[in-house]
Amino acid sequence: MHRFYLTGLLFFSQIIFGQSVQAQMYQWADPETGTTQLSGKPPAWYRSGEGGPRVFVFNRGKIVDDTGIEVSDEKRSSLRTKAFIDAEEDRVAANQKAMEAARLKAAMEKNNDEMSEEGMLEEEETHEHQPDMSEVVVMEESEDEEVIEKEMSTEEESVEKLKELIADWEDKRTEEARALLKKEEEK
């Protein structure tokens, strides 16, 4: 039961990280098909001198840029550079979070495997020695308590690590948003 809970928690955290990391979205209409395209990465022509389809940039559901609005060359270059740097940072952060999640998952699977092996060894040992019923009840209670304590300890550590990762990521994004707002207010 705990294995499924932890696996579900890891899967859920990967979904959150996968969606959260790509908070800035770029939207444009494909000129050939007329379909709306969405991406977490800026298109190659975004704020370039070459032009291309009009791009709307959304950050957390609010529009933060529209290439249909003319800006100075300096501002255009700044927006373009920042967009591609942010996209690369998001990609690196997503990879780091995915690797950390994979490490946590491997550690939990290893712990589950060890606990399964311990259970098998304990089962073999109990077959060698045939205790009376009072010994069986006492042994089962103490073994169950130890297994539950180990599972809870591992689960709590994993949850705390995930919470720390999420909090760190949220702090970073909040700082970036504040810096961007401050920069926009100064202009």
List the Cα angle 14/15/17 in 5-degree steps: 65
For 4, half-sphere exposure in the C-beta direction (CA atoms, 13 angstrom radius) is 1
More confident residue, 151 or 31: 31
pLDDT tens string 7-39: 555 555 555 555 444 578 999 999 899 999 999
Residue 110 has a pLDDT of: 83
Q: Rounded to 5 degrees, what are φ and ψ at 69?
A: -95, 125
- How many Å apart are CA 183 and CA 187, to the nearest integer? 7
pLDDT tens string 154-164: 777 877 888 88
Please check whether residue 44 is in contact with residue 138, taking contact to mean a CB–CB distance below 8 angstroms: no
Please check whether residue 57 is in contact with residue 66, taking contact to mean a CB–CB distance below 8 angstroms: yes
DSSP states of 64-89? EEETTS---HHHHHHHHHHHHHHHHH
Residue 33 has a pLDDT of: 92
Residue 58 has a pLDDT of: 92
* Domain residue extents for the chain: 2-22+72-186
More confident residue, 128 or 45: 45
pLDDT of residue 47 exceeding 50, the answer is yes
When pLDDT is averaged across residues 145-166 and rounded to a whole number, the result is: 74
pLDDT tens string 53-96: 999 999 888 988 988 888 888 988 888 898 888 888 888 888 88
pLDDT tens string 115-141: 777 766 666 665 555 555 555 444 555
